[in-house]
Amino acid sequence: MITDAKPIVTARIGVPESWTLRAYLEHGGYDGLRKALTMDRADVTQEVLTANLLGRGGAGFEAGKKWGMLRKAEPVYLVINGDESEPCTFKDHMLLEEDPHEIVEGTLICAYAVGASQAFIFVRGEFALGLERLTAAVNEAYAFGAIGRNILGSDFSVDLVVHPGAGAYICGEETALLESLEGKRGYPRDKPPWFPAVKGLYGAPTVVNNVETMSNLPWIVQNGGAAFAALGIGRSTGTRIFSVSGHVKRPANYEIEMAKTTFRDLLYDPKLGGGIRNDNELKAFVPGGVSAPWFGPDQLDMALDQDAVGKAGSMLGSGSVVAMDDTTCMVRAAWRITRFFHRESCGQCTPCREGGGWLDKVLRRIELGQGRESDLDLLLDVCDNIAPGLSWPPQKTTICVLGPSIPSSIVSGIKMFRDEFLVHIKDGRCPFG
Amino acid sequence: MARLTAENLQRARQLVALYPHPRSALIPILHIVQEQDGWLTPDGMAHVGELLDIEPAEVYGTASFYDMFFTHPVGRHLVSVCTNLACLLNGGGELLEHAEARLGVAAGGTTADGEFTLEEVECIAFCGAAPCLAVNWRFFGNVSNDDFDQLVDDLAAGRLADEVPPHGTLCRVRRRVGLTAGVPAGPPPADDAKPAQGSAQ
């Protein structure tokens, strides 16, 4: 069902010139920061813990806990991840363009709570308009006294820098992002032992949080963590933006209450996805970004609950749901996703660098009608070498999770649509043309 | 083939001042180089190396990791057509084929007049409007073949000059303030930093 919960992070989207300070202030802007600055730092963190705000980037780790894991040392850095690159995820892109001040305000609240000496918002380089709107917002916020020395008349001071990326999916991984922010190639760092909270930017304790996570903070401070936790069910609290795309009639971002709405609501409700285009049958859907294993129509009634989706063998991930109707060639879909991972592999680890390429080539030949009967076993064997056991969450053979995400679409495709793969091989062509 | 102009050198120095360690300004400065020349020239990269006290090879080695940086000349308009999943499902592959036919170059190629470079890109986070593309990272959604032809005509005729700046120009809004909070000094260089010059053997 769709609940009547009001949007938290997208409330201002649609307001004329929602990205300007004037519009932001007319709609309660910077009141959350003002309130936070009158509170003890520990109390701000406590509200976020009470809210049980799960990180909105993809891993879904409790934001407040992340802040509490910081090594006690100076300086502390805060880095906001706006490198949104998970295919079919387009919520942060929207937030950066439409409500940059909300991100800035949330970032400042977080910086205050963790005692950061400097904050960076890492924005995906391709988001030119987002960079322009956020940079303008930061200029406005400095002039308004909300960033810099003695923020809003308090004794808290912090600087905020907007940092453009330069095009690399892997920089959405937090340690690769830190390497990139240090001016290097975006190679993920091996962890454990050192998570960014212990050794982050320049080796200093660092909090890395997603853009949408920050956008929730002004509301949480204003309304209290308990009010946030009252929305949703269990650990999945508050509202969340879901990016709906693919073969739906109304592809868009929808902010809905967590855990109370199902995938069926999200894809079919007239106010949300609006149903499958041409009223075709749904064949399968991606529940949380292309790294996630696919679901079939039999799982449509599952709630958008982080733990329920995890137990069913996939993930809510970055919150992107992609519908594929019955005209979709699943070999082509799996091949395209695999080609993406192969192209975006940073090349540090052999299973990912080499395995991705082999899988890309084998899927290509199946799709082009030159596959062999043994190719399905070969695909699964290579996948098993990247993520032994082919379980979810995957076993790792690599520094980061990019490699172990490659098998998701292939294993899903073969498990759910084995006959379709075989028809490609037996007929020597793609049945979908 | 140019080093940074005096104005851009000034912008680069302002960027360096925003970070606890100068090298963090490398990627933002490379965007300035690309804005100035349309691509990363060897002279431009060498100049950036001098500015940050790193070898030109380190500048190139970093730049070559990132898809947005070009170490060879590209067209004034970089047309980036997405074919990742949401676009694939909505005709992105067919749009790319049409773009290749219309521009007369395969993905990765540049038209003879230097106006257009066409590339196939991974998801550009505009999936609500698939199939989509970007020109110099300005986004266009729900692009039909006819829309594409019109877009190319408009770009070639200069009718979109305000919306779509030349390739390399990323963020047209400049930061107006430096650091004002009184940031404490950054931590000492990490373990893997290069040793100080002249250190004892």
Whether residue A319 sits in one domain with residue A335: no
Q: Which amino acid makes up residue A335?
A: W
Q: Do B90 and A324 touch (CB under 8 A)?
A: no
Would the pLDDT of B181 be above 60?
Answer: yes
| DSSP H or E stretch at residue B125 | none
Is B189's pLDDT higher than 60? no
The two structure tokens encoding residue A117 = 């000496």
Structural domain contains residue A5: no
Shared domain for A237 and A145, answered yes or no, is no
| Helix boundaries (H) for A115-199 | 128-144, 174-181
Chain B CA closest to residue A341: B122
Q: Kindly indicate the confidence band of residue A97, based on its pLDDT and cuts at 50, 70 and 90.
A: very high
* Within a domain: A1: no
pLDDT at B88 over 70: yes
State the average pLDDT over residues A113-140: 98
B139–A129: do the CB atoms touch at under 8 Å? yes
Same domain, A73 and A169: yes
Q: Are B122 and A87 in contact (CB < 8 Å)?
A: yes
Structural domains of chain B, with CATH: 6-63 (1.10.10.1590), 77-156 (3.40.30.10)
- Inter-chain residue contact A183 with B86, CB threshold 8 Å: no
Give one word for A376, left, alpha or beta, with left for phi > 0 and alpha for psi -120 to 50.
Answer: alpha
Q: Which residue has the tokens 């769709």?
A: A2
The residue from A202, A229, A256 where one domain ends is A229
Residue A79: domain span: 21-229
Signed CA dihedral, A317, A273, B87, B134: sign only: negative
What integer pLDDT is reported at residue B190 of this predicted model? 56
- pLDDT, tens digit, for every residue of A190-208? 988 889 999 999 999 999 9
Q: Answer yes or no: do A284 and A367 share one domain.
A: no
Give the number of beta-carbon pairs within 8 Å between A and B: 204
Q: Is residue A102 part of a domain?
A: yes
Could you tell me if residue B108 is left (phi over 0), alpha (psi between -120 and 50 degrees) or otherwise beta?
Answer: left
CATH at residue A312: 3.10.20.600
Determine contact, residues A25/A96, Cβ cutoff 8 Å: no
Residues A138 and A182 in one domain: yes
Report the range of poorest mean pLDDT among A54-58, A281-285, B83-87, B183-187. Answer: B183-187
The pLDDT confidence band at residue B177, using thresholds 50, 70 and 90, is very high
- Mutation pick from B53, B123, B177 vs chain A, by most beta carbons of A within 10 Å, is B123
Residue of A nearest to B18 (CA): A161
Number of domains comprising chain A: 3
- Average pLDDT rounded to a whole number, residues A38-57: 97
Please indicate whether, in this complex, the C-beta atoms of B90 and A246 are within 8 angstroms of each other.
yes
| Contact yes or no for B170 and A164 at CB 8 A | yes
Calculate mean pLDDT across residues A218-247.
97
Shortest CA distance from A335: residue in chain B: B85
Q: How confident is the model at residue B188 (pLDDT cuts 50, 70, 90)?
A: low
Is A123 in the same domain as A246?
Answer: no
Same structural domain for residues A255 and A272? Answer: yes
- Taking an 8 Å cut-off on Cβ atoms, the answer to whether A340 and B187 are in contact is no
Together in a domain, A46 and A172: yes
Is residue A156 domain-shared with residue A292, that is, in the same domain? Answer: no
Contact A188, A170 (CB under 8 A): yes
Q: Which two tokens stand for residue A396?
A: 């790792």
Chain A residue whose CA is closest to B52: A183
What is the pLDDT at residue B194? 43
Q: pLDDT category, A59, cuts 50, 70, 90?
A: confident
pLDDT(B199) > 50: no
Contact A158 B181 (CB under 8 A): yes
Q: Which has more pLDDT, A4 or B111?
A: B111
Q: Which of A71, A72, A79, A90 to mutate to test the interface with B (most CBs of B within 10 A)?
A: A90
Nearest alpha carbon to residue A323 among A364, A272, A389, A395 = A272
User: Six-digit token pair at A114?
Assistant: 């963790």
Domain end, chosen from A325, A346, A378, is at A325
Strand partners, A234: none
Whether residue A168 is found in the same domain as residue A299: no
Mean pLDDT of chain A: 96
Confidence band, pLDDT 50/70/90 cuts, at residue B196: very low
- The Cα–Cα gap between A36 and A33 comes to 5
CB A86 within 8 A of CB A318: yes
Predicted pLDDT at A326: 97
**Shared-domain flag, residues A71 and A117:** yes
Cα radius of gyration rounded to whole Å, chain A:
22
- Give the pLDDT mean for A334-342: 98
pLDDT in tens, A145-187: 999 999 999 999 999 999 999 999 999 999 999 999 999 999 9
| Domain-located, residue A412 | yes
Residues of A in contact with B174 (CB under 8 A): 135
Beta carbons within 8 Å of B153's beta carbon, 6+ residues apart:
none
Residue A278 lies in a domain: yes
Distance from CA of A411 to the nearest CA of B (A): 17
Q: Where does the pLDDT of residue B185 fall: very low under 50, low under 70, confident under 90, or very high at 90 and above?
A: low
**In whole angstroms, what is the distance from residue A350 CA to residue A355 CA?**
7
Give domain status of residue A213, yes or no. Answer: yes
Mark which of A229, A244, A265 sits at the end of a domain: A229
Instruction: Give the CATH number of the domain where residue A366 resides.
Output: 1.20.1440.230
Q: Cα separations (Å) of B180 from A202, B14, B155, B185?
A: 21, 13, 41, 14
pLDDT above 90 (res B191):
no
Q: What element of type H or E holds A91? A: helix A91-98
Question: Cβ of A148 and B173 within 8 Å?
Answer: no
Q: Is the pLDDT of residue B152 over 70?
A: yes
CATH number for the domain harbouring residue A177: 3.40.50.11540
In this complex, the residue of B66, B176, B184 whose CB is nearest that of residue A168 is B66
Q: Is the pLDDT of residue B184 over 70?
A: no
- CA closest to A179 among chain B residues: B24
User: Residue A290 and residue A309: Cα distance in Å, rounded?
Assistant: 15
The residue among A83, A76, A276 whose CA lies nearest residue A196 is: A76
Identify whether residues A267 and A168 lie together within a single domain.
Answer: no
Chain A contact for B72 (CB, 8 A cutoff): no
A2-11, A282-291, A337-346, B48-57, range with the lowest pLDDT:
A2-11
Is A279 domain-assigned? yes
Per-position DSSP letters for B67-123, written without gaps between them: TT--SS---SEEEEEE-SHHHHTTTHHHHHHHHHHHHTS-TT-B-TTSSEEEEEES-
Instruction: Tell me if the pTM is above 0.90.
Output: yes
Is B193 a residue whose pLDDT tops 60?
no
Q: B31 with A125: CB under 8 angstroms?
A: yes
Facing B68 at nearest CB: one of A75, A163, A166: A166
Predicted pLDDT of residue B198: 37
Nearest to A126 among B61, B69, B137 (CB): B137
Position A1 pLDDT exceeds 80: no
pLDDT confidence bin for A2, thresholds 50/70/90: confident
Asked whether the predicted pLDDT for residue B68 surpasses 60, the reply is yes
Query: Are A54 and A214 within 8 A, CB to CB?
Result: no
- For residue A128, the Cα-to-chain-centroid distance in whole angstroms is 19
Q: Which value, in Å, is the radius of gyration of the alpha carbons in chain B?
A: 20
Q: Does residue A112 fall inside a structural domain? A: yes
Residue A75 to residue B184, Cβ atoms within 8 A: yes
Taking an 8 Å cut-off on Cβ atoms, the answer to whether A340 and B123 are in contact is yes
Q: What is the mean pLDDT of chain B?
A: 93
Average pLDDT of the residues in A57-68: 93
